[in-house]
Each structure stands twice: as structure tokens, then as C-alpha cells.
Homo-oligomer: A and B are copies of this chain.
Amino acid sequence: MNTRTVGVIGGMGPAATVHFMGRVLALTPAASDQDHLHLIVDNNSGVLDRNAAVAGSGPSPAPVLVAMARGLQRAGAEMLVMPCNTAHAFAGAIVAASDLPFVDLIEAASDEAVSHKASRVGVLAADGCLQAGLYQHAFARRHVAPVLLEPRAQARFMALLYAIKAGDLGPDVRWGMKALAQELVDAGAEALVAGCTEVPLVLGSEDVSVPLTDSLDALARATIAAASRTP
């Protein structure tokens, strides 16, 4: 095969990684097993809490993420991706410690969000992702203003996130997420980024009135493009 083997630094959360793999499959033109990309996936549920680490209330997951990147390379990976927005606060450590190309989720999602010509883009993202300024920084370089939830709404968002991680994909969680997306639109967002891998599990484009960028789908497309490029 003329494609690169993709190493997936996963487990944040485990369901989001499985969803990402499914999206890579669905977005790959393939007629047989052999037409699909070769993915090696470390779906490591033991990665320390990213939000606590960014907030300074918990130890950094960077050493574990670097060890996973090295393990994936030893297992045969030729490029790396990480289907977790907040963990990209530690992407620099991975890039510094590995000589493999790293396809950045925040860059992929931001590129897709600005393609909708919006000047104000709403972001549904976890506390750690926002505190680390990942989307704010990527948007600034693209001359786009971020629209964020107000503190109490952001707290509701985090509660929904942990409910999804615990396996609750029920109607209450779906309605709650839809209401938060609407708050961003009401605050002036002309496009939205589902900037946390759990969000697309309960929110689709049919639930919002403005273009919605699914950060996992953006990464899946960028992954397929990068893996298909001749090394």
C-alpha cells in the first residue's frame, strides 16, 4: 500500500477514539478491507485528566502521551494523530519527543471552521482546552474572533461532558448540548466548532442553525489526506 501507517494516541475518551476510527473508515473511499488505512491505536484509558492538568490541579499527562507516541512508532506508525482537543495543550511535548509527522486536530478544525467565511466562531470545548487557549490562538492567526460560553453555561457544558464519558447519550444530554450551541449562536456566532471529541456524539449539524465543524471529522479528513500523501 502506498499510504502511511497512522498511529492514534487515543483513549481521551475511549469512546471518542472509537468514533474517530469509525469516521476515518466512513470517509475513506474503499471497496475492500485492503483499501482502508492501516491504523495502530493506543486506546489508553489511563491518561491522566487533561482538564485538571491544564488547571494546575493535577499532574501533566505529557509523559504518558510521549510514551504512547514512542510505543506507536515502535509498533510501526509513520505519522501521529490524537483525537482529543484538550490534550493538544501537550501536543508540543509530543512533537518535540517524536520524529514522526503530527497532524494537529486544532489546526484541522480551525481551517474547516474559517472555510465558512464567519468572522465570529463559537467554540464548545472543555475547560482545559479553553484555559490553554488552543482555539483562541488558532483563531487569532486566522483573524477570527472566538465566541465562548459564559461561566455558568460552561459549567453545564462540563457536566454534560462527564455524563457522555460515563455513557449517557440520552435525550436530556442531547437537548442540553443543543441549548448550549444555541446560546453561542444567540451571542453572535456565525459558525460553531464542536471542539471536544464527546460533543459530536450528541450534537449534529441538524441540531444547529449555523455551520457546525466537527473537530473529529476535520481530523479524520486531515488524517486521510496526510496518510495518502506519498511519504
Contact = CB atoms under 8 A, between A and B. Distances in A.
In the complex, the count of this chain's copies comes to 2
Interface string A145-165: 000000000000000001001
Given A14-B25, A18-B22, A21-B21, A46 B75 contact: no
A72 B166 CA distance: 28
Contacts of A36: 11, 13-14, 43, 45
A169 B30 CA distance: 14
Given A18-B21, A74-B74, A38 B45 contact: yes
A75 B165 contact: no
**Chain A interface extent, by class:** 35 or more
Contacts of A162: 32
A41 interface: yes
A82 to B, nearest CB: 14
A33 B11 CA distance: 7
Interface in A24-54: 25-26, 30-47, 49
Given A18-B22, A18-B25, A74-B74, A37 B45 contact: yes
A39 B41 contact: yes
A167 interface: yes
Contact of A41 (B13, B41, B76): B41
Contact of A44 (B15, B21, B38, B72): B38
